[in-house]
Structure 1
Amino acid sequence: MSKLKFAIIGAGVWGETHAYLYKEHPDVELTAVCDVNMGRARELAAKFDVPNVFDNHQEMLRKADIDAVAIVTPDFAHGKIGVDCANAGKHMLIEKPLATTREDVEALVEAAERNNVRVMVDLHNRWSPPFAVAKQSLDSGELGDPVSAYMRLNDIKWVATDMLPWAAKSSILWFLGSHSVDTLRWFFNDEVDQVYSVSSAGVLKKLGVDTEDIYQTILQFKNGGIATMENGWITPNTHPCINDIKFNITGTKGMINMDLSNNQMIERFTEDKNDRPDVLVRHFVHGKPKGFAYESIRHFVDCLVSGEDFLVSIYDAANTSLVILAIFESVASGKPVKVKY
């Protein structure tokens, strides 16, 4: 079988994450990189020996010989790029979320169906070993039926102030809340019926980033389960991990607790700092990319080759985006809001 020819749109930090996996995968040939910043595109292409470089995705779709595209742009740009790729007949791995407006969500689903292309959204928390093990316990029946859950998924301030130059055009709900909603939908094996959320702002605005600081959200599922969800990006920069992750799932027969950012599995102390190195998300072992951020990308490739279904369907991702849109509506109205599917 010939290799699948891949292109990356978006040459930032996560575009590089995709490039590491594609260059290692035996079934992939990374043939093109595209970014509106040509200098950044050339830099990524040079690092990974990619022959074709573009600063316009439509030109790339016309000229490059590719089978699949990784869309690794800021979240608000996913819609048009994704529809263009679908219309060009390219399979897609889209970084979360699928899209940030109802119109873009619907347009992407319609374009994928009409063009018979396969689409997965990189909601990679489903590949996190602690969450996968917890889900296995739930599915085996040893926890009983899920009743309630709590999920905290926060970032330190640096993510909004330094890592993401486009943070003011997005929200922590899109950046991390999409993972939270998808994880909770996955655990409850159910769709969210109603949401209620409140938010707070001021810390980041004083630092020059015009976006909300934090959201506290209650999700009510159609079969009666309830979950509390916290997403913020004002955790102090001295926190030992970029993320602050806590999780609880309580069932009729048992429960599971997780602390994935303040545990003592590995601690590093130097003359200048104390931190907890990442050994779960994105790291290297003997020069090879490891961690669940790479495993979700590998899954996309493997399923393209095998024809198997993706663990995250485009419909999963669409419903996750629609839940988040309902959360924004709840914050604006101060009332519970039914999710409109």
Structure 2
Amino acid sequence: MSIMLSRKVKCGVVGCGIVANNAYLPAIREYGELVAVCDSIEERAERSAKLWGAKEYYGRFGEMIEKSDIEAVFILTGMGDHAKQVVEAAEAGKHILVQKPLATNMEDLRKAVDAVKRAGVKVLVEPGVQMFPVYVKAKEALKSIGDIYWFRAGLGRGPPVWGAKTFFSKEAGGPLFDLGVYEISALTFLLGPVKRVAGLAKVSIPEINIVPPEWFTDYLSKAPYRIVWEALEKAPKTLRIRVEAEDNTLTLMEMEAGSLGVVVANFVTPDGVRDDVGMLPDIEVYGSNGGLLIGGAYALAYKDVKSGRGWVKVDWDSVGGRWWNYYAASTKHFLGCIVKDEEPIPNIDWGAHVSEIMIKSIMSSRTNRIMEVETRFKPY
């Protein structure tokens, strides 16, 4: 369904990788006006421009920001590059949608937030879990399980088969910033801000083989574009890389409201290992009256033991299906906020809080200290 806006927002994209071509570029083409694309591998930018109808392509982000007539920038680069590019875009007066995470270290995080606040631009920091129907329904269901005491989230997976700089470099941060960010974002939406964090993290698999970057650049030469996952899994993994970022993490969190919990995020769980035991929940929350399970066989299941009733089970079809396209939903919402002059959800404050939790978890593991979380956000 097409968004009904009074005008199309002129957009530029930096980072013409898999997520951009699979999700954001088609969404921008539908909901906005795709003016320019940029990638450090300029051939990717050129091919992405042809595939999705961008008027211009660039090999340097600064050149696109300076020369292109755009109002908004989608930052879809490697995780360690986001914060610096947020600063550059904000200083140029551009509205920003940035893929998760906002930052992977505290210095970059503070600079990004300061630049956005000074510029007064609108920023949406992914992932937009606040719009995911299953979490909206879960937030309502939480009321039936009483005072919240503890939670568990995350299950881990095998390593991505591409993206040495994107996922495995020290600057990128590893699976906590790639996977754990979803559960931490959801938990802060459901339970509020985090007060303190402690982490354990290590590199468990020091070297892996991945698909070389040239493979995807070549893939972009084929039109029309097809979602890449199946082809990527079959592609030859001929590039041997060293894993620099911790690939096996546990994050303990104390919420401001009092509950305690743990988030598991790793690239060391063999893919398919749980296939024959059924789908386990992504998130479990337990309180004085019962429990709430999110994800798994059901979108949602909750039980109030004091009521004497059994489990209330919500199937996936009733919340729009298991694979909700948050990329398209966030694009539509972000561009609508620019046109209507509204604050995006999740905004810079929420994104900063989620990033700080993850940064402090890794800091805790490296220093053997429990870390206080300084940032806060306005709950929605």
**Counterpart check, 1:281 vs 2:287:** no
Structure 2 matches for 1:244-259, cutoff 5 A?
A: 246-259=282-295
Kindly, what percent of the aligned residue pairs are identical? Answer: 25
1:178 to 178, 181, 189: 181
Q: Is the Cα–Cα contact under 8 Å of residues 7 and 339 in structure 2 kept in the other structure?
A: no
Partner Cα distance (1:11, 1:244) in 2 = 34
Residue 192 (structure 1) shift: 1.5
Residue 197 (structure 1) shift: 1.9
Partner Cα distance (1:255, 1:244) in 2 = 15
Q: Is the Cα–Cα contact under 8 Å of residues 70 and 93 in structure 1 kept in the other structure?
A: yes
**Counterpart check, 1:144 vs 2:153:** no
Partner Cα distance (1:215, 1:202) in 2 = 10
CA RMSD of aligned residues (A): 2.4
One-letter code of the match for 1:83?
V
Partner Cα distance (2:327, 2:148) in 1 = 26
Structure 2 matches for 1:136-215, cutoff 5 A?
A: 136-138=140-142, 141-157=143-159, 159=160, 162-166=161-165, 167-169=167-169, 170=172, 171-189=174-192, 191-205=193-207, 208-210=241-243, 211-215=245-249
1:320 corresponds to which residue? 354
Deviation per residue, 1:267-308 (Å, 9 max, x gap): xxxxxxxxxxxx5336xxxxxxxx233212222122222233
Residue 80 (structure 1) shift: 2.0
2:251 to 217, 236, 256: 217
Partner Cα distance (2:33, 2:273) in 1 = 39
Gaps of 5+ in 1: 266-278, 283-290
Deviation per residue, 1:22-41 (Å, 9 max, x gap): 1111xx11110011111111
**Counterpart check, 1:135 vs 2:139:** yes
Change (3 A) 1:153 1:310: farther
**Counterpart check, 1:98 vs 2:102:** yes
Gaps of 5+ in 2: 1-5, 210-240, 300-320, 376-380
Q: Is the Cα–Cα contact under 8 Å of residues 24 and 327 in structure 2 kept in the other structure?
A: no
3-state secondary structure, aligned to 1:203: coil
**Counterpart check, 1:107 vs 2:111:** yes
Q: Is the Cα–Cα contact under 8 Å of residues 83 and 107 in structure 1 kept in the other structure?
A: yes
2:17 to 12, 20, 23: 12
Deviation per residue, 1:138-161 (Å, 9 max, x gap): 3xx32334322110152322x1xx
Deviation per residue, 1:196-221 (Å, 9 max, x gap): 22224332536543132311221011
Residue 49 (structure 1) shift: 1.1
**Counterpart check, 1:72 vs 2:76:** yes
Partner Cα distance (1:42, 1:321) in 2 = 32
3-state secondary structure, aligned to 2:179: helix
1:294 corresponds to which residue? 328
One-letter code of the match for 2:168?
A
1:285 corresponds to which residue? none
One-letter code of the match for 2:290?
G
More strand by share: 1
Partner Cα distance (2:127, 2:280) in 1 = 18
Change (3 A) 1:335 1:2: closer
2:8 corresponds to which residue? 3
3-state secondary structure, aligned to 2:108: helix
One-letter code of the match for 2:26?
Y
Partner Cα distance (2:73, 2:274) in 1 = 34
One-letter code of the match for 1:179?
Y
One-letter code of the match for 1:23?
R
Residue 259 (structure 1) shift: 3.6
Residue 244 (structure 1) shift: 8.0
Q: Is the Cα–Cα contact under 8 Å of residues 153 and 284 in structure 2 kept in the other structure?
A: yes
- Tell me the TM-score normalized by structure 1: 0.83
Partner Cα distance (1:68, 1:4) in 2 = 7
- Structure scoring higher RCO (CA < 8 A, sep ≥ 6) equals 2
1:232 to 247, 250, 266: 266
Q: Is the Cα–Cα contact under 8 Å of residues 175 and 266 in structure 2 kept in the other structure?
A: yes
1:270 corresponds to which residue? none
3-state secondary structure, aligned to 1:249: strand
Partner Cα distance (1:156, 1:127) in 2 = 27
